[in-house]
Amino acid sequence: MSGMTKPSAAAPAVDLADEVAYLEAVAQARKAADAYYGSGESELDDDTYDRLLRGITAWEADHPGQIAADSPSQQVAAGVTTGDVAHTVPMLSLGNVFSDEELTAWAASLQRRLGGEAVAGWAVEPKLDGVALAARYREGRLVQLVTRGDGTTGEDVSHAIDDITGLPARLTEPVTIEVRGEVLMTEAQFEAANEQRTAHGATAFANRRNASSGSLRAKDRAYRIEQTFLAYAALADPEHTTDPALAELTHTQLIARLAALGLGTTADTPVATVACTTLEQVMGRVREIGALRAELDFELDGAVIKADNPADQERAGMGSRTPHWATAFKFPAAQKITVLRAVEWSVGRTGVIAPRAVLDPVDVAGTTITYATLHNPADIARRGLMLGDHVTVYRAGEVIPRVEGAVASLRTGDEQPIAFPEVCPRCGAGIDRSQERWRCERGRACGQVEAIRYAVSRDALDIDGLGEKIVVQLVDKELIEDFADLFTITREQLLTLDRMGDKSADNLMAAIETAKTKPLNRVFCALGVLGTGRSMSLRIAAYFGSMQAIRDADAVALEEVDGIGSEKAPVIVAELAELAPLVDKLVAAGVNMEQPGFVPPAPADAEAEGESKDSELPLTGKTVVVTGGMTGPLADRSRTEMTELITRAGGRASSSVSARTHLVVAGENAGSKLAKAQELGIEISTPEELAERLAAYLI
C-alpha cells in the first residue's frame, strides 16, 4: 500500500526452559505489573513486558496443571487492585495479536463462535496508551470516576473531575450513562505537567503513561495537572443508561453518539474509528493508523479491531479477562528503556545550540537507536536528567527519537550531572541564554553552511547538485556569504571549485536559475525562519500572497494564519527583521516573491454581497486527500508539490479521510483511504482528472 508501512512482526516470546524459569518470570512480571498499573513507572518497557508475558502464557498452555496462582496472565490488568469501587459490568482487558497472520487466525476463531457466519462488519480504532477509566453520569451530570483496577473493582478518583478535558461536567443531553475510555496526556500536557512537578521539587515523570497514572491518583498535591479523556465504549443496557438507543448502535455509531454528547473521542483525529467490511480493509486501516502514529499529539501502541454489530458482540460473548469480539493489534514498541551515557552539543543553521543524548544502543520500533534529542538545556533541567540514568526513549514512525525522562526507581547513586557548555561549541563565541533554546551570539553567522544547505534542500529551493562539499568550498573561498549570493554567482567562479567540470557547472547554473522561479512558499521556507517549516511556510505564503505583504504584517496579522499563535507570531516578526538584508538581496537578484494562484481578499462591500476570497478558484473551500501513487501529468509530483498545487487552487490538503473531506485523489494502490471515501460517498478523482481540472495551476 503506497505511503504506508506494515507493522513489523513482534519480537519473539521469552523462552522458558523449566518451571524454575517460569516462576522467576512470573515474579519479574508480577513486580513490573504492580509498578505499571500502580505508579505507572515500571522497570520493564512495554516490549520487554509483552515478550515476558507471552513466554509465560506459552509455558502455561503447555503445563496447564502448573499455573502459578499469582500469574499476571490470569487476571485483568495483571490483578493489581487499587480500590474498592465495584464495577457492575467488568472492565476487561483486550487480547493481543502481533501480525496479519495472527489477526486472520483470531478473525477465524470469532467466525467459529458465530456458528460459521461471517462477521457483519468491523470497527477499527487506535489502541490508546493511557489509563483505563469509567466515567459515570447521572442525568447528564458527571458524578464519579473509577479506575479499571483488576476489572472487578477500581479506585474512586473523582477528585480529578475538574482536571480532565473530554469529560465535561454536563453532557449536551440529560442522560444517565457510564462511559469508558482512556485518560492520557498530550505532548503539551506532558510538558506542562513536568514543569509544574519540577517547580514543586518533585522528579520529572519518565513518560506520559507514568504521568497519567500518578496524576490521576494524586489527591493532595499543591498543583493541578490537566489530562485528556478519549471515550471508546459505553454501557448500553437499560440498567446503566437512560438512552435506550445505545443498545441498537454499531460501535462506530456509538462513538459518534458519545462525541455528540460532548465527550472526548478520536472522531476529529486522523485515527478516528472507522467501519470496514472486509478483513483486508481492516488490515489496511491498521497499517494506516501505524503510519499516522507519529503525527499525533497523543500516544497509541496499536489498533483495536472489534465486531461492529452489537448482535455479533452479544453472540460472541465475553471471556473471563477479554471480550471474544475484540482484539488489539500491537505495534512494535515506540518506547524502550536504556542508559544515558553522554550529551553532545551541536549548533544549527540559526545558531541554536542543541543537546543530543548518547545512549546505550536499543531497538525501538525496528530501528537501533544510539542518539536522541533532548530539546534544550531547560528541558534537561526540568526532567532532572543525569548521566548514567535509565531513561525512556520514544520513537514513532520516522520521528527523531527523544528522551522522555528518567526512571527514578532505577537510580543507584552513581549518576553524574550533565555539563552545559560555557561557550559556543562550534566557534567559541558567547552564548545567548535569554530563551530556553540557547543560541550562539553570532546567530546565523555561526551556522552559515547549515543555513545554506537547508535553503537549497528539496523542501525549499530544491537546487539539485548543490551538495555540502560544494557549499563548503563556496563559503571557504568567500564566493558566497548566504544562499542569496548563489543567484549572482558566475560560471567562471563555479569552475574554480574542486572536481567541477564544464557540464557540472552548466547543470548547476541551470538549477540555480530554475530556483529563481520557485513559488513564494519555497523561498520563505529557504529563509529558515524560527518556528516555521515546509507546511507553515505554505500557509503563510498562501495567506499573504507576497513577500512584501508578509514583511508588512505585524504579530496580530500573523496570528490570523492557521497554526500561528500569540507566542510564535512575535518571533516570526523579529526573525523577518533580522533577515531583511537577505530578503533584499533575493529581491535584487530577481528571485520570485509571489505565491502562484493567490487572489487578494475581496473588498468589504463585495463580501457583504456574498462574494468571498478565492471564489473563482477550482478547489475553494474543499478539503482534499491525495492517496496512492500519482500518474499521468502528476506522476513526478512529490507529496509536498501536490500540497502546493492544491493550496494554489484554493483547497486544503489533508492526510486522512473523514466526513469533512470533499475530494479524494486516488492514484495507484490507493487502499483503505479510497475504500473509506467510497463508503462515505465522497467525490473521487484520478490524478489525470485532477490535472485536467487544475491545468491552469500546473507550473
* pLDDT (0 to 100) of residue 600: 62
Instruction: Kindly report, residue by residue over 353-382, the tens digit of the pLDDT.
Output: 999 999 999 888 767 889 998 988 988 988
Q: Percent of the chain beyond pLDDT 90?
A: 48
Mean pLDDT of 129-135: 93
Mean pLDDT of 31-47: 61
Crossing angle of the two packed helices 520-527 and 448-455, in degrees rounded to 10: 160
Instruction: Kindly report, residue by residue over 474-509, the tens digit of the pLDDT.
Output: 999 999 999 999 999 999 999 999 989 999 999 999
Would you name the residues annotated as active-site residues? 127
* pLDDT (0 to 100) of residue 478: 92
Measure the N-to-C terminal CA separation of the chain; round to a whole number of Å. 29
- pLDDT at residue 611 is higher than 50: no
Residues 6+ apart with CB under 8 A from 594: 519, 520, 545, 546, 547
Find the helix or strand (DSSP H, E) in which 666 lies. Answer: strand 663-666
Beta bridge partners of 131: 183
* pLDDT (0 to 100) of residue 479: 95
Instruction: Kindly report, residue by residue over 413-451, the tens digit of the pLDDT.
Output: 999 999 999 999 989 999 999 888 899 998 888 888 989
What the chain holds in terms of domains, given with CATH numbers, is: 19-79 (1.10.287.610), 85-330 (3.30.470.30), 335-432 (2.40.50.140), 447-515 (1.10.150.20), 520-588 (1.10.150.20), 612-697 (3.40.50.10190)
**pLDDT confidence tier of residue 38, bands split at 50, 70 and 90:** low
Handedness of CA 338, 183, 383, 536 (dihedral sign): positive
**Rounded Cα gap, residues 294 and 277, in angstroms:** 27
Mean pLDDT of 448-477: 91
Q: Which of 2-16, 23-37, 62-76, 646-660 has the highest mean pLDDT?
A: 646-660
- The mean predicted confidence, pLDDT, of the chain is 86
Q: Report which DSSP code applies to 338.
A: E
**Rounded Cα gap, residues 245 and 236, in angstroms:** 8
- pLDDT at residue 398 is higher than 60: no
Residues 6+ apart with CB under 8 A from 103: 97, 279, 282, 283, 286, 305, 327, 329
**Rounded Cα gap, residues 11 and 364, in angstroms:** 11
pTM of the model: 0.59
**Hey, what's the cell of 533?**
517549516
Q: Tell me whether strands 326-330 and 300-307 are parallel, antiparallel or unpaired.
A: antiparallel
Mean pLDDT of 197-207: 82
3-state class (DSSP) for residue 176: coil
Mean pLDDT of 68-79: 62
- pLDDT at residue 513 is higher than 80: yes
**pLDDT confidence tier of residue 182, bands split at 50, 70 and 90:** very high
Q: Which amino acid is at 3?
A: G
Burial bucket for residue 163 (CB in 10 Å: 0-12, 13-18, 19+): middle
Length of the chain: 699
Left, alpha or beta for 90 (phi > 0: left; psi -120 to 50: alpha)? beta
Residues 6+ apart with CB under 8 A from 178: 89, 134, 135, 136, 137, 234, 235, 240, 241
Q: Report which DSSP code applies to 435.
A: S
3-state class (DSSP) for residue 543: helix
Mean pLDDT of 679-695: 90
- pLDDT at residue 75 is higher than 60: no
**Rounded Cα gap, residues 491 and 488, in angstroms:** 10
Find the helix or strand (DSSP H, E) in which 329 lies. Answer: strand 326-330
E strand residue ranges, 264-325 = 274-276, 300-307
Helix runs in 114-217, H state only: 187-199, 208-217
**Helices and strands per DSSP (H, E), number in the chain:** 23, 23
* pLDDT (0 to 100) of residue 168: 94
- pLDDT at residue 549 is higher than 90: yes
**Rounded Cα gap, residues 622 and 636, in angstroms:** 24
Q: Tell me whether strands 122-128 and 353-364 are parallel, antiparallel or unpaired.
A: unpaired
Task: Give the largest CA-CA distance in the chain.
Answer: 86
* pLDDT (0 to 100) of residue 614: 44
**pLDDT confidence tier of residue 399, bands split at 50, 70 and 90:** low
- pLDDT at residue 81 is higher than 60: no
Instruction: Kindly report, residue by residue over 205-227, the tens digit of the pLDDT.
Output: 878 887 888 888 888 788 889 99
* pLDDT (0 to 100) of residue 674: 86
- pLDDT at residue 2 is higher than 50: no
Beta bridge partners of 546: 594
**pLDDT confidence tier of residue 383, bands split at 50, 70 and 90:** confident
CA 11 to chain centre: 23
User: What DSSP letter does each residue of 200-226 carry, written as one string?
Assistant: TTPPPPSSHHHHHHHHHH--S-SS---
Q: Tell me whether strands 153-154 and 402-406 are parallel, antiparallel or unpaired.
A: unpaired
- pLDDT at residue 610 is higher than 60: no
**Rounded Cα gap, residues 591 and 520, in angstroms:** 9
Least confident range from 196-200, 242-246, 431-435, 590-594: namely 196-200
Instruction: Kindly report, residue by residue over 575-587, the tens digit of the pLDDT.
Output: 999 999 999 999 9
3-state class (DSSP) for residue 377: helix
Instruction: Kindly report, residue by residue over 618-648, the tens digit of the pLDDT.
Output: 888 888 999 888 899 998 888 778 888 888 8
* pLDDT (0 to 100) of residue 655: 73
Instruction: Kindly report, residue by residue over 86-103, the tens digit of the pLDDT.
Output: 998 999 889 999 899 999
Left, alpha or beta for 296 (phi > 0: left; psi -120 to 50: alpha)? beta
Q: Which amino acid is at 589?
A: A
Q: Tell me whether strands 131-138 and 177-184 are parallel, antiparallel or unpaired.
A: antiparallel
**Hey, what's the cell of 23?**
516462576
- pLDDT at residue 282 is higher than 70: yes
- pLDDT at residue 653 is higher than 90: no
**Rounded Cα gap, residues 523 and 515, in angstroms:** 9
- pLDDT at residue 116 is higher than 60: yes
Beta bridge partners of 346: 354
Residues 6+ apart with CB under 8 A from 14: 25, 51, 52, 54, 55, 56
